Amino acid sequence: MVNLTIDGKQITVPKNATIYEAARDNGIHIPVLCYAKKLLPYGACRICLVEVEQMKGRLIPSCTTPVTEGMVVTTTSEEIVKVRKTVLEFLLVNHVIDCPVCDKGGECDLQDLTYEYEVVTNRFEGEKFDLPTDEVNPLIERNMNRCVLCGKCVRVCDEVVGYGSYSFINRGFETKIATAFDRGLHCEFCGQCVSMCPVGALLPRPFKFKARPWQLNEVDTVCGYCGNGCTVTLGILDKKVETIRFNDKIGVNDGNLCIRGRFGYSYVNSDDRLTKPLVRKGNQLVETEWDEALQVVADGLKKAQDGKGAGILSGARLTNEEMFLLKNLAKTLGTGNLDHSGGECYKGVTEGLLETLGVQASTGTFPQIENTDVVLAIRNDFYDTHPVVGMVINQAVRRNNAQLLVVSGKGGKLSKLPRAKTLLSGPGLELDVLNGLCQVLLEEGLAKTDGLEGLVALKQSLAEFTADKVATKTGVDADALREAARQLAGAGNAAIMLAYGLPYTPLSKELAVAAANLSLLTGIAGREGSGIYLCGEKANSQGAIDLGLLPAADGLGAQAMLDAAAGGKLDALYVVGEDPVASFPDRDKVEKALEQVPFLVVQDLFLSSTAAKANVVLPAASFAEKDGTFTNAERRIQRVRAGVPSPGEAKTDGEIIAALDAQLGGSLAFTGPEAIFAEIGKDVPAYAVNYTEIGPQGVVWGGEILQPVARKLGEAVAAPMVEGAYRLVTGSALHHSGTTSTHAKGPLAVVPEPFVEMSRADAATLGVKEGDLVKVAGNGVELKLKAKVDLRMPQGVLFAPYHFKESGVNRMFKTESVISVTISK
């Protein structure tokens, strides 16, 4: 700690603090423009100049100057005010004064400072900037005439996002912020730059002329897309979500968001939302009243239960409270056929983890990742499914020199981070590489085997995974594999990252077991500061696992329910918040099941391809319309808050399920999320938390480090390699999440349709150019997809994301992780 005096006040601050931070943390105001909490000190704008007694003769930028013992600082004097005024005059020489039409007006740092320092006239005159605005991209408006060259956008895109869209170009008066070759923005569109801009140079285009900032009502909630659990602050005007506001005060994401979080909210306002219950009459789905719809559903489910049985299949974007109610509904109905969407797909991950570590969750928390020495990411897709954790990894790498290891069948964002080492395997062979890493640890005596069960069996099963053999099969360099294992073993703190979700079904159990083995052999699981991270695809995937939204002992899981339905052995299916036709593997099977089942109820926001087949469709509420809790991928229970009412007569899933429960004679009334959360606590001890005590940072159940309750090594049987000139894999694309984002304008503006991604070499061989329509055939199915050509795909490997129902990718993928395909123009 360091003692110093600021404006006569004696203060003590940590020795790595700057003068600005010391002042701020002690309630002393120093104006800043280019400073941002999450960025490294820069000192571009000189508005924060102060006087330091020990450094007389010049003014000192407080945001870049570290404190020293005995420092005496003055933050305001006649000279300082004069200089700050001059700085502002300089900035205003060429800054256009179009505040009346600038969306930043009212929360613009330059406007506020000009007001604070009463800069009413300008002694200098000069040309105003007259630069064209970036009208090309749909999401971020760049008006460089308003830019003050603070460099925050350049820095956040580098330091936090790791994309590097922007740079200062030219020199002197000509200096401006631009992209490479001064073109329109073409990037991830996470909008981090927008959130950082102190003026109106970077603005969210969808929000243009929608509202003045002071008119907006702000509601803090949790993003409804992925398992990262980012806090999003809804900006609401007239009961409509108009924008997502920057908020770095609360939550786990430090104000960082991805395109989905920042621009993907618009599906909430979509005109396609369901507003009234629909009941099938003849061949038509007809709008009806709730009473009738609920009666039909209750009767149908009861009848089915008296017959061959009814089943309930839930998505993973319901709140914990809603999932709890759904569990109770199953009890009331008397069915054990209950599952969440993971039951069809990624249940292997949880099973694998339960068998090895005895827990079914990440063992660490996200903020710890920033301070790790080594991060191992399984599949480059990790950044695409969980971009904001990806940003934490970027900061670990860039700021703290962490070594990033990527085990992946294709390139991607993570592989491009500084010093990243990619163990690039053949498609679908990531598992072999993980086994290979375990084998190296054992072979070289680096494994921490004390107290581990199953060591002998593991050693036997890994005999085929020596570095050389793995190298031969996967194409990964044997020495690189050995080196990676040594780095993992030698790391003080390390993180193993595995994302799971609907498109990553095959081998999910084996991958989880292999990752768990690795975490046990390295001692990462349960070690302070380290962790194995299992990151769910959906906002409440972890909640579904924690609450045990699973089949009863005698009940059917998701796959079994679909099989039973397809075989005419199930009389009703109630699907809540999921579109299996579009998202589950093996669409043919799903379609058959939904067509065969005599009574289908679908509860959703949209008339999805599943809902279109239903007997009754119940209109549900989005995340922005409900209260409750989500549990994110690091076990953080966070409050979800309603910001807007649901459109028309749509109700929250909780209200619908409770009403249905009552209709069926159940006892659990819908008494609001707080009361239900208390009920959950009685069932699930980890959730025995007072609802009102779930603060701005949420509550992490199990603590910062979750100790494994078992330490049992498992056997992860690898799959044979799929041969073929072209091999197709599926997965998630960065701009989308599940199928919901295909209803959101923001993500759609950037990635509007399905595509197949290929290497430049393959494109050249096939004579295919970006955007050409190509035929991809395999597994008896032919898909027509637009070609996307880039550098990240290895030759002979193709990637097609699964989000778009029209693509039919899930018709081709049934149980495979890789499919040998032919491709032609």
Partner 1 sequence: MSEAVETKVEEEIDLTGANEVIDKYIDMPGSLMPVLQGIQEFYGYIPEETVHLTAERLNVYSSQIYGVLTFYAQFHMEPRGKYIIRICMGTACHVKGAGRISDTIEDRLGIGHAETTDDLKFTVEHVACIGACGMAPVIMVNDGTYGSLTVQKTDEVIDKYKKMD
Give the interface with partner 1 as residue ranges (CB under 8 A): 131-136, 142, 158, 163-171, 178-184, 186, 416, 418, 791
Cα 421 from Cα 404, distance rounded (Å): 6
Residue among 129 and 290 whose Cβ is closer to partner 1: 129
**Cα–Cα dist 69/456, whole Å:** 59
Burial 306-340 (b: 16+ CB within 10 A, else e): eeebbbbbbbbbbbbbbbbbbbbbbebbebbbbbb
Residues in contact with 49: Cβ distance below 8 Å, sequence separation at least 6, in sequence order = 59, 60, 61, 62, 80, 83, 84, 87
- Shortest distance in whole angstroms from residue 388 CB to partner 1: 21
CB of 136 to partner 1, least distance (A): 6
Q: Which is nearer to partner 1, 406 or 601 (CB)?
A: 406
Least distance from partner 1 to the Cβ atom of residue 169, Å: 4
Taking the complex as a whole, how short is the minimal distance between the CB of residue 420 and partner 1, in angstroms? Answer: 9
Q: Which residues contact 791 (CB under 8 A, 6 or more apart)?
A: 411, 759, 760
CA distance 270 to 261: 16
Q: Is 382 exposed, middle or buried (0-12, 13-18, 19+ CB in 10 A)?
A: buried
Q: Which is nearer to partner 1, 308 or 792 (CB)?
A: 792
The nearest distance, CB 411 to partner 1, in angstroms, is: 10
Instruction: Give the span between the Cα atoms of 321 and 631, in whole angstroms.
Output: 11
Of residues 120 and 791, the one with the C-beta less far from partner 1:
791
Rg of the Cα trace of the chain? Answer: 28
Cα separation, 3 vs 17, in Å, equals: 11
Least gap, CB of 396 to partner 1 (angstroms): 17
Smallest separation (angstroms) from partner 1 to the CB of 767: 15
Of 142 and 651, the one with the shorter C-beta distance to partner 1 is: 142
Q: Which is nearer to partner 1, 502 or 758 (CB)?
A: 758
Nearest CA among 339, 338, 332 for reference residue 661: 332
Which CB, 174 or 723, lies closer to partner 1? 174
Measured between alpha carbons, how far is residue 367 from residues 10, 93, 211, 500, 772 in Å? 32, 42, 34, 20, 42
> What type of residue is 548?
G
Choice between 401 and 822, CB closer to partner 1: 401
Q: Tell me how far, at minimum, the Cβ of 696 lies from partner 1, in Å.
A: 34
40's tokens? 């490294």
Is residue 225 classed as helix, strand or coil in its secondary structure?
coil
Q: Given the complex with partner 1, which of 189 and 504 has the nearer CB atom?
A: 189
Q: What DSSP element (H or E) covers 467?
A: helix 467-474
Can you tell me which residue has the tokens 């390139």? 411
Return d(Cα 714, Cα 457) in angstroms, integer: 8
What whole-number distance in Å separates Cα of residue 421 and Cα of residue 484? 8
Closest by Cα among 430, 418, 348, 419 to 381: 430
Q: Which is nearer to partner 1, 351 or 790 (CB)?
A: 790
Residue 770 C-beta: closest distance to partner 1, Å: 10
Q: Which is nearer to partner 1, 166 or 670 (CB)?
A: 166
Compute the distance between CA of residue 63 and CA of residue 44 in angstroms, rounded to an integer: 10
The Cα–Cα gap between 354 and 340 comes to 17
Taking the complex as a whole, the smallest distance from the CB of residue 372 to partner 1 amounts, in Å, to 21
- Closest to partner 1 by CB, 133 vs 275, is 133
Question: Which C-beta is closer to partner 1: that of 132 or that of 695?
Answer: 132
State the nearest-atom distance from the C-beta of 181 to partner 1, in Å. 6
Angle between helices 587-596 and 558-566 (to 10 degrees): 60
38 vs 156: CA distance, rounded Å? 8
Nearer to partner 1, 649 or 772 (CB): 772
In angstroms, give the least distance from the CB of 327 to partner 1: 49
3-state secondary structure 687-725: HCCCHHHCCCCCEECCCCCCCCCCCECCCCCCCCCCCCC
d(CA 250, CA 491): 31
Q: Look up residue 446 and give its two tokens.
A: 């680096």
Q: Name the minimum Å distance from CB 174 to partner 1.
A: 8
Taking the complex as a whole, the smallest distance from the CB of residue 791 to partner 1 amounts, in Å, to: 6
- Please state the closest distance from residue 422 (CB atom) to partner 1, in A: 12
Residue 397 vs 700, nearer CB to partner 1 = 397
Q: Which long-range contacts (CB under 8 A, 24 or more apart) does 128-135 make?
A: 128/94, 128/95, 128/96, 129/94, 129/95, 129/96, 131/176, 134/184, 134/185, 135/184
How open is the CA angle 232-154-745, to the nearest 5 degrees? 40
Distance (Å, whole) CA 543 – CA 551: 16
- Measured from the CB atom, is 54 or 175 closer to partner 1? 175
Residue 582 CA to residue 810 CA, distance in Å, equals: 7
How many residues can be counted in the chain? 825
Min dist CB 789 to partner 1, Å, is 12
| 71 backbone dihedrals φ, ψ, rounded to 5° | -60, 140
Judged by beta carbon, residue 59 or residue 169, the one nearer partner 1 is: 169
Which residue stretches of 733-782 are H helix? 745-750, 760-766
The partner residues of 628 in beta bridges, in order of sequence, read: 640
Q: How far is the CB of 74 from partner 1 (least distance, A)?
A: 37
